[in-house]
Amino acid sequence: MRIDQVVVSASPGDAITNFALTLRQLLLPDARSDVFAYYYDERLASEIVPLSEYGARPGARKDRDLLVLHVSIGEPAVADFVLKRPERLVIIYHNISPSEPFRPYDPGFADLLDAGRDELKRLRPRAELVLADSEYNACELRDLGFEQVDVLPIVANVEDLRDTEADAALAERLRTHHDGPVILFVGQLLPHKRADFLIEAFHILSTYRMRDANLVLVGSHRLPGYAGALQSQIEELHLDRATLAGSVSKPMLAAYMRRADLFVTASEHEGFCVPLLEAMAFDLPFQARRFTAIPETAGDAGLILDADDGPAVAAEAWAQLLTDEPLRKTLVERGRVRLAAFEPAVTKQAWRQALLGLARLA
Amino acid sequence: MPALLERLRATVAERRASGEYPPDLEADLDAHFRRIIASRAQMPRLATLHRRIEEARRASRFSPDRIPTSTRLPGGAVLHKGMSRLFLRQAIGILDQVKEFADRTLEALDAAAAVAESPDTHHHADLVELVDAHSELLAGRLSTAAPAADDLQALALRVEMLEHEVAERRWRPWFGRNRFDAVFDRGERDRLRRAASAALDGRTPVLCVEVAAGASPLATLATTADASLGAVVAVSVEDTLSAQQMVDLIAMAFEKLSPEGRLVLSRGTAPSAPSPEPQSEPSTPSEPSAPLRPTFDPTLGPSLPARYAVFVCREAGFSTVDCEEWSPDGYLVVATR
């Protein structure tokens, strides 16, 4: 039995790539599973198979083999390929970001996002099993006409990061160079994540409330135009204690998480929000905003601002979370409880059963 | 949590009402970022170019292993594998040539993208013409409404002073001086007082409005007669006064000073002991450089507190205002009535 997986793009550190590789490992005792990608980073050459080689594998058995498609963006070539394959189709929906925030920076990429939703509609009649990793994502699919969508809890593996030894040189520099509280954001610097909102809130915090506070934004600069605008924003506001750290290794991320006093995100679109679970794993209180799947991910473990709360309220919330010890303690305890719902042993088993269950129904 | 959120919102509303937050603070910040985005309107095309180059780079992986040998014809796979072994040497030779071509092509594309991204490396005749046209227009306007020679001289002096300030600031450490002094307690306040005294240039009587326990600088000044003081010295009062109180203090000092009187504001650590330059900062060979690069660039301009104090002094009516910066938020401002 084969349960092969297809992703549009695979790169190191990418959450969907990591999830596909985890799934491959989970299925291995019962099914062979390769991960194919249309675009992929050379550093993953030993893990990922180019989609162009899919045809080179032994012929598929229409009644038994599964093809699992991870959907997070559109790519007409991939959709066309999947529609021609005889295997039974499984769709795992990780959410497609809205295109509007991307359009000023990369219209081509925005078009691909729009195409993704159209492709989902084309794939719908072929899908035998549709899985989503949050109720919010499931709702989106139902709005697109999918009748039966199952929600499975995400396999987050945050313990892996928590147990990673921190990069010693970075940890030392953070200790000696950041004398005030450190506020941390982790995530790709993309327009819908609203790092510009965080910088505005930090400007208010550091100008009027806590001059010694530091803001560190960790994450890859996927859109150079947006990252450059953020850099200009920081420089023009003279925020010498705000840093764009860029993409970092796992030991470096562990160093940032251990040094941080508060985790923040202003994201306006998340199909799920793994960094919130990572914050919980490091006993970090966090602040987020009431958008899409964020309240569902956070539960009662964080301070969630309403969508229309501006940067001044965010700055006030940060000051409160940095100084109110009983509040911090309460949120950390709630975070530990919330994190237990994503126990990897349980979530992995759920995904394994869902896929193998369908395969064995043949 | 809902109650806490309501309290936070109420606090923000109070800060707005009291003037602690400027009116339209958030709207101004939002407009600021939108202006930055608008100035980068040409970026989408470049982003698309970069993405296409990356796609081409990902596709430039050539290997005989990627040539499929499977077939649905009986025995076909064996035949294909045999053929591929037979012509392996030729296949590798062809792929090497294709790879070399692809590598050179990608290098050329990278170079083209770099040129497109750096306008200063090439010449836009249309833009030069536009700039020339605007220069002529500006020159025409200036010739019809020429400012007085004194104004021009003052402007030239001001530019010279700013250039000097920027040159001075270029190698000033962005980190540390405050922090080191705070850690080692090298008598910061005494040095601030000495620096302030030197700026008085013999003026009397002097009123010091330092913040002592229970004393309000504004209340101290309010009890003094107008135009009665030779100098007012305020050391590190900004740390305990709100933005509005600072404005009130400076305006009141102007009223209390006699003609030629001086207001001296100082904050932070006065320069004395040598501090390490950024390039002498200890580092380890394996340390990452990018993640900790400070985003504050001292050459970009003075820090906000000093700019704010200078601006308010000018607005209050002081005829000359000089500023010496000691660190990103330490300064000595001398305003003469």
Nearest by CB: A56 against B37, B68, B294: B68
Tell how strand A182-186 and strand A214-218 pair up.
parallel
Q: Is the pLDDT of residue A67 over 90?
A: yes
Q: How many domains does chain B have?
A: 2
Chain B neighbors of A238, CB-CB under 8 A: 296, 300-301, 303-304, 328
Print the SS3 string covering chain A: CEEEEEEEEECCCCHHHHHHHHHHHHHCCCCECCEEEEEECHHHCCCEEEHHHHHHCCCCCCCCCEEEEEECCCCHHHHHHHHHCCCEEEEEECCCCCCHHHCCCCHHHHHHHHHHHHHHHHHHHHEEEEEECCHHHHHHHHHCCCCCCEECCCCCCHHHHHCCCCCHHHHHHHHHHCCCCEEEEECCCCHHHCHHHHHHHHHHHHHHHCCCCEEEEECCCCCHHHHHHHHHHHHHCCCCCEEEEECCCHHHHHHHHHHCCEEECCCCCCCCCHHHHHHHHCCCCEEEECCCCHHHHHCCCCEEECCCCCHHHHHHHHHHHHHCHHHHHHHHHHHHHHHHCCCHHHHHHHHHHHHHHHHHCC
CATH code, domain with B175: 3.40.50.150
Task: Match 């860029």 to its residue by tokens.
Answer: A246
* Residue B58: per-residue pLDDT: 77
Whether the link from the prior residue into B205 is cis, omega within 30° of 0, is yes
- Average pLDDT over chain A reads 91
Q: State the pLDDT at residue A56.
A: 65
B140 located within any domain: no
B275 in a domain, yes or no?
no
In the DSSP assignment, the letter for residue B67 is S
Do residues B260 and B334 lie in contact, with contact meaning Cβ atoms separated by under 8 Å?
no
The CATH homologous superfamily to which domain A159-340 belongs is Glycogen Phosphorylase B; (3.40.50.2000)
Range of the domain at B254: 168-270+300-336
B38 close contact with A: CB closer than 8 A: no
**Are B259 and B201 found together in one domain?**
yes
Contact criterion met (CB < 8 Å) for A229 and B37: yes
**Rounded distance between C-alpha atoms, residue A138 and residue A296, angstroms:** 12
Q: Can you give the length of chain A in residues?
A: 362
**pLDDT bracket for residue A152 (50, 70, 90):** very high
- What is the reported pLDDT for B29? 94
Place of tokens 């709360």: A309
Task: Indicate if B74 and B185 belong to the same structural domain.
Answer: no
DSSP B197-247: HHTTTT--SEEE----TT--HHHHHHTSPTT-EEEEEEESGGGTS-HHHHH
The alpha carbon of residue B306 is apart from the nearest alpha carbon of chain A, in Å, by 12
The β-bridge partners of B80 are: none
Whole-angstrom distance, CA of residue B311 vs CA of residue A297: 47
Q: Boundaries of CATH 3.40.50.2000 in chain A?
A: 3-156+343-360, 159-340
**pLDDT 10s digits, A190-235:** 999 999 999 999 999 999 999 999 999 999 887 878 888 999 999 8
pLDDT of residue B185: 37
What average pLDDT score do residues A163-187 get?
Answer: 92
Integer-rounded Cα radius of gyration of chain B: 32
Amino acid at B279: Q
Claim to verify: residue B111 and residue B195 sit in the same structural domain: no
Closest by Cα among A151, A14, A21 to A72: A14
User: Does any domain span residue B70?
Assistant: yes
B111 and B176 belong to one structural domain: no
Chain A and chain B share a number of CB contacts under 8 A equal to: 163
In a domain, B84, yes or no: yes
Assembly ipTM: 0.88
Average the pLDDT over A158-177 and give the result: 91
Question: Residue B297: helix, strand or coil by DSSP?
Answer: coil
The two three-digit tokens of residue A220, written as one number: 């890859």
Judge: B68–A104 Cβ closer than 8 Å, yes or no.
Answer: no
B208 and B327 inside one domain: yes
Q: Tokens 């199952």 correspond to what residue?
A: A150
Options 3.40.50.10490, 3.40.50.920, 3.40.50.2000, 3.40.50.300; CATH of A3-156+343-360: 3.40.50.2000
| Residue B68 to chain A, least CA–CA distance (Å) | 5
**Residue numbers of chain B with a pLDDT score lower than 70:** 40-45, 70-72, 118-129, 141-149, 165-191, 210-215, 239, 268-304, 327-329
Average pLDDT in the A31-49 region? 88
What pLDDT is stored for residue B125 in this prediction? 66
Considering only CB atoms, which chain A residues are within 8 Å of B25? Answer: 204, 312
Res. A18: pLDDT tops 80: yes
Q: What pLDDT was estimated at residue B294?
A: 34
Does the pLDDT of residue A118 top 60, yes or no? yes
Mean pLDDT value across residues A20-35: 89
Provide the residue type at A139 as one letter.
C
Q: What are the backbone angles phi and psi of residue B281, rounded to the nearest 5°?
A: -65, 135
- Residues forming beta bridges with residue B334, ordered by sequence position: B264, B322
Residue ranges of B 84-103 with Cβ closer than 8 A to chain A: none
Nearest to A151 by CA among A45, A26, A271: A271
Where does a domain end: B78, B99, B119?
Answer: B119
Contacts of A196 (CB under 8 A, 6+ apart): A229, A230, A233, B33
Q: Which pLDDT score is estimated for A357?
A: 85
Query: Does residue B308 lie within any of the structural domains?
Result: yes
Provide the pLDDT for residue B244. Answer: 80
pLDDT at B298: 37
- Say if the Cβ atoms of B287 and A173 lie within 8 Å: yes
- Put simply, the answer to whether A169 touches B174 (Cβ < 8 Å) is no
What's the half-sphere exposure (Cβ side, CA atoms, 13 Å) at A287? 28
Count the Cβ atoms, other than its own, within 10 Å of residue B147. 10
Among A316, A321, A330, A338, the residue to mutate for chain B (most B Cβ within 10 A): A316
